[in-house]
Amino acid sequence: MVQYKPRHLASSFTALAMGVGLLGSSGISGRALAADKTVISVAYGETYVFDTEDLTKKWWNGVKAEFEAKFPDATLQLVPIGGGYDDITNKLSLLYRSSRTAPDVAQIATPVIGQFSSSGYLLPLDSYLADEAWWKQFPKVIQGEGVFQGKTYAVNTGENDSQLYYNMDLFKKAGLPVPWTPHNWNDILNAARTIKAKLPHIIPVWLNAGSSSGDNGILQGAGNLLAGSTVPTIYDKKTQKWVVDSPGLREVLDFYHSVYSEGMGANLSDLFSPSAVTIPLTLIAQGKVAITFGSNYYGGNWTKLICSPCWADATKVAGVVPIPTVDGHSPDIATTVGGWDFAVSASTKSPHYAWELVKLMESDINQINAANWAGFVPANQLIVKEPAFVDFAPPYNAVSAQVLPYGVISPASGDYLVWSHGLQEATGALAQHPNTTVDAAIGVMSDYVSNQLDSSAVETLK
Amino acid sequence: MIQSASAVADGNAGGPPIADVKKTREWFVTNGLLAIIGLAFLAPMLWLALAAVDANAGWALQLPHFTLANLIAVTRGDYLQALLNTLEISLVATGVSTIAGVFGGYALSRRNIPLSDELMVGVLFLTGIPVAIMIVPVFEVFAKYDLLSLVPTGVFLGVTSLPFALWLIKTAIDAVPKELEEAATIERANILQVILHVTVPVALPGIFAAAIYSFINAWGAFLPPLVLISDPSQATGPLKIYGLIGSAAVRYGDIAAFSIVYSLPVVVLYILMSRPFSGGFSMGGAVKG
Amino acid sequence: MRPENGERRGWWKSSAAADGEQQLDAVGILLLLPATLLLVVMFIGPVGFAFYLGVTNIALVGPTAQHFHFTGLKNLHRLVNDRLFWESLKLTAIFLGASAVVGVTIIGMALAVLMQHAVTWLRTVVGAIVVVAWMLPPITAALLWYAFSTTGGTLSLLSGSDSDILNDFPMTIVCLANIWSTAGFSMLVLSSGLRTVPAEVLEAGKMEGASRWQIFRSLTLPIMRPTIVTNVLLVTLLSLANFSLIYIMTAGGPGNATNILPIYSYQQAFQFNKLAYGALLGDVVVIIATVFAYLYVRVSRPSRAGYRPQGKLA
């Protein structure tokens, strides 16, 4: 890749532009220096994936130093991508459109691997993975997340799953048992009703709703409930249709209906805020919410290292327990799972180095650091038992590692996001208008998805 | 466009008129109404001012736990670099659209260009086109020629404001008395000399209006830098703010503080420009022709 | 618009046109060349390409990302049957109508008129506030209005409740935000328009004993009409292109309450990866912009019979 020199063009502009041109860009030095070295580029989320930008830099600069020390004839070029979840995917989609800009290695969100591999952008990794011991430690469900048409195109570098957080102080005040172990969804609703009756100023339940957080709101909200419902199907592989009405969806929306029509949910401006998924972290720490459907990273965020927000007493106040299934059916653990993966570009000129980089990033220490600094659960089942991970945010990390193998991964099709948006609209309607019926909410979802994808692409499961 | 508020009216209003009840009432109604509108326009800015110096800032309006830490944090390192990047991109954009706009505007105003009316309509409707729909083709071209960096993005932003600039400058040049140019031509000045030494100085207010429009347009641009700049050290102000909103830990105080720092240059621009040009320098004049 | 200018330009233009009517003006074309080239390569080209993409099956990512092809009327068929599109078109009309018509004719005009009669210091202060609001970068304006209208924000505190006004009245709030950020422009345009109203005309009105309101309605307004219409159309064009404000404030939500066409286009192209359909929706915006530009030219062209100056846009 030839580095474009801003200075060159700037000089042909007015004196104004020139003067500031000198102040402005610092240029990328990596590529210029590397004239006679093999350059491997790696793209990743700059602000979104790790908990803080400092930790992003720490991890990636560490990888760069380690890689260049191990391979003196190679240079690692870092390509951080700013913005949120969608922005990372969008930028990667654009970068991969041209082999000139496609990064050799990229950190890709799990739900979009299917789309990238079906575009022909990614290199199958099966022959490399065959010999790796660490790969054998990945649970089957996670090994499968990078598979497209029988080949593996991506390896996981950290997962997010969900669990229930509850405020033990508030539970005690309301006369509820601590520790609390809900066995089904009614147990959750009943605890919430007790909180509402005894502690009227407390938000009984935080449960993400609406579309402001995109698919993240589903992964950290309704998706967990659907995973624990009696009919969790999202995409019917037999008929190749999207499920927009099913007993499972109705159970989920009925739960939403109970929470929001009984006034047990959070206020709308928080729920519909662009930063909705991170708001409960603060609400829990402030003692304002009793039960939260939340992601595994909460515990890590409260630690002194991450501090967003800092909460030294977290372990004394915030209890954690797996989300049960609707009626307690086995395994009585329900969670979505979705994370980030590493993939290699099909157009890379040095697949060998690209793979060496992936291997290096999958090392135990790098995976543990990534998990702790980004709030992940490592896929490697040996690493999840390492004290460095478990003791980083006890007891939360142990529970998130425990529920991981039961996780449900969302379908790897581009149209999944349309389905997800339909469900977001349905939960949003229930949260915003408490008199919305479950039938009406199903109608919102089914209308939306069939309008977007055509009515022949959706179905009702009995 | 940039016109000091005091030049908005011709100074025909003074204090309360003498002992005329009706006039006094009118005076109160006028000034009272204006004050109310002014307050209404000021109110949304309140949060910014308070949150920027609040150690515990959130979206809500609250009395701040006073701190300067937010402001200090956002005026160094990456943030300072982002401001310089925004400045660079904006100056490039301004240069491109103003220079192309002056020559093009002159041609459209003075020279015999076939279909010039139709061209002007075409130019005008380009003003309303959302940049989002051009972004993918532009990205492909930029990617192909290794242009995904600051200066080419500045050029692109300059082109997006070129339609409006062209049109402002053309209308400004329309108002320049033709005799001035004829006199210069008789003295054997060539066309470039005429444009640069005769037309441009007279049409300067309109040209400045176009330049400032381009500058502000580029300064506030969000989507093009988001898509077209690949090196994070070249990120511009809006991308920084966007990153702050989207990051795992939202720091509201930093968002507010950086928004102030980032908006300051355009406000300064307003103050600087409003004085010397308070007389004839108005978008109104340019817009009306 | 100034008569003596118009005469002179008309006279000069017609004489210039007389000796160059049929032959090309090489120097003129040369001068126009940089602007033309830039616009063709970086503006018209991409827009034209977007029109082509609108009738293909290109995706941002997926099997048809690279290998896309022409799909005829398929996307158009979807467009016509897409209820969200028609809803979005309606919302776009409301947003533009409210922002441009209310913003310009009521807020902008009120500011311009009041400015004329207010005391100097107040004029200076309010003028600065309003113009700064206009000059603020869109992302800042969006953040301000988000904080202003959400729970605990200034607006909800003023209303004395804990309500979330942005979610309760999303369209109203985004329209107000847009008015807030364009009123400065309208004020400046209309103020300078007001100054061109001949003093003698107003004097004459006063002599006949008309009240201020009568003078304003039957003398000032008719004279100002072209300026106002011009301004309405310009603000419409500028609002149409302003994507960031709504995207940052509501991203089109809650539900689809503020999902105007530029947002819907972006959502299809960059969130659902349906680049082709997103491009088609963008094309609709281009067509709307064309209509407004055409209207603008029609309105601002002097309608006096027999008088047809070359500079029609003046």
Domains of chain A (ranges; CATH) run 6-160+337-406 (3.40.190.10), 163-336+413-460 (3.40.190.10)
Q: Are C267 and A215 in contact (CB under 8 A)?
A: no
Residues of C in contact with A452 (CB under 8 A): 84, 272
Tell me the mean pLDDT in the region C39-45.
88
**C64 band by pLDDT with thresholds 50, 70 and 90:** confident
Structure tokens belonging to residue A87? 């922005």
pLDDT of residue C272 exceeding 50, the answer is: yes
Alpha-carbon distance of C278 to C284, in angstroms, equals 10
Number of structural domains (chain C) is 1
Q: Are B37 and C114 in contact (CB under 8 A)?
A: yes
- Whether cis (ω within 30° of 0) applies to the bond prior to C63 is no
Mapped onto helix, strand or coil, the DSSP state of residue B288 is helix
CB atoms within 10 A of CB C73: 10
Which residue type sits at A101?
A: T
Residue A9's pLDDT is what? 29
Chain A closest CA to C194's CA: distance in Å?
36
Residues of A in contact with C255 (CB under 8 A): 211, 425, 428-429, 432
**A259 band by pLDDT with thresholds 50, 70 and 90:** very high
pLDDT of residue A242 exceeding 90, the answer is: yes
Pick the CATH number of B70-288 from 3.40.980.10, 1.10.3720.10, 1.10.357.10, 1.10.287.540: 1.10.3720.10
Tell me the mean pLDDT in the region A183-196.
97
Compute the half-sphere exposure of residue B236: CA atoms within 13 Å on the CB side of its CA.
Answer: 28
Q: Are A171 and A290 in contact (CB under 8 A)?
A: yes
Q: Is there a contact between A115 and C272 if contact means CB atoms under 8 Å apart?
A: no
**A302 band by pLDDT with thresholds 50, 70 and 90:** very high
In this structure, of B39-43, B156-160, C228-232, C244-248, the range with the lowest mean pLDDT score is C228-232
Closest alpha carbon within chain B to A20? B88
Q: Give the residue carrying structure tokens 């915006």.
A: C285
Domain that residue C105 falls in: 84-300
**C199 band by pLDDT with thresholds 50, 70 and 90:** confident
CB-closest option in C253, C271, C272 to A210: C253
C314 falls within a domain: no
Q: Is there a contact between A414 and C82 if contact means CB atoms under 8 Å apart?
A: no
Gyration radius of chain C's alpha carbons? 24
Domain ranges of chain B: 12-51, 70-288
Chains interfacing with A (3 or more CB pairs < 8 Å): B, C
Tell me the mean pLDDT in the region C251-265.
88
Gyration radius of chain B's alpha carbons? 23
Tell me the mean pLDDT in the region C242-246.
85
CB-closest option in A89, A269, A432 to C150: A269
Residue A35's pLDDT is what? 56
C195 falls within a domain: yes
Q: Is there a contact between C272 and A428 if contact means CB atoms under 8 Å apart?
A: no
Residue B275's pLDDT is what? 53
- Closest listed residue to residue B207, CA positions, set B233, B179, B175, B245: B175
Bridging pattern class, strands A38-45 and A105-109: parallel
CB-closest option in B62, B110, B267 to C132: B267
Alpha-carbon distance of B237 to B87, in angstroms, equals 9
**A202 band by pLDDT with thresholds 50, 70 and 90:** very high
Q: Give the residue carrying structure tokens 């009240």.
A: C211
Residue A320's pLDDT is what? 97
Residues of B in contact with A83 (CB under 8 A): 226, 239, 242-243, 246
C74 falls within a domain: no
C12 falls within a domain: no
C135 falls within a domain: yes
**A28 band by pLDDT with thresholds 50, 70 and 90:** very low
C215 falls within a domain: yes
Handedness of CA A306, A308, A312, A316 (dihedral sign): negative
Chain B closest CA to A260's CA: distance in Å?
23
Tell me the mean pLDDT in the region A263-291.
90
**Which bin fits C273, alpha (ψ -120 to 50), beta or left (φ > 0)?**
left
* Average model confidence (pLDDT) across chain C: 81
Q: Give me the phi and psi of C203, to 5 degrees please.
A: -55, -45
| b/e burial code for range B185-200 (CB count within 10 A of at least 16 → b) | eeeebebeebbeebbb
Which has more pLDDT, A105 or C12?
A105
Which has more pLDDT, A188 or B16?
A188
C164 falls within a domain: yes
Per-residue pLDDT of chain B (289 residues; tens, 9 = 90+): 334 444 444 444 444 445 567 778 888 888 999 999 999 999 999 888 888 888 887 788 888 888 888 888 888 888 899 999 999 999 999 999 999 999 999 998 888 877 777 777 777 777 767 777 788 788 878 877 888 889 999 999 999 999 888 888 988 888 888 888 888 888 888 888 888 888 888 888 888 888 988 998 899 888 899 888 877 788 888 888 887 776 656 678 888 888 888 888 877 877 766 654 443 334 333 333 2
CATH number of domain containing C106: 1.10.3720.10
In this structure, of A68-82, A209-223, A299-313, B5-19, the range with the lowest mean pLDDT score is B5-19
Handedness of CA A363, A369, A375, A380 (dihedral sign): positive
C17 falls within a domain: no
Long-range (24+ apart) CB contacts under 8 A made by C6-11 are C6/C302, C6/C309, C6/C314, C8/B177, C8/B178, C9/B174, C9/B178, C9/C309, C9/C310, C9/C311, C9/C314, C10/C307, C10/C309, C10/C310
- Closest listed residue to residue C277, CA positions, set C96, C94, C71: C71
Chain A closest CA to B95's CA: distance in Å?
6
* Average model confidence (pLDDT) across chain A: 89
CA distances from C20 to B118, B186, B217, C14, C24 (A): 18, 20, 38, 10, 7
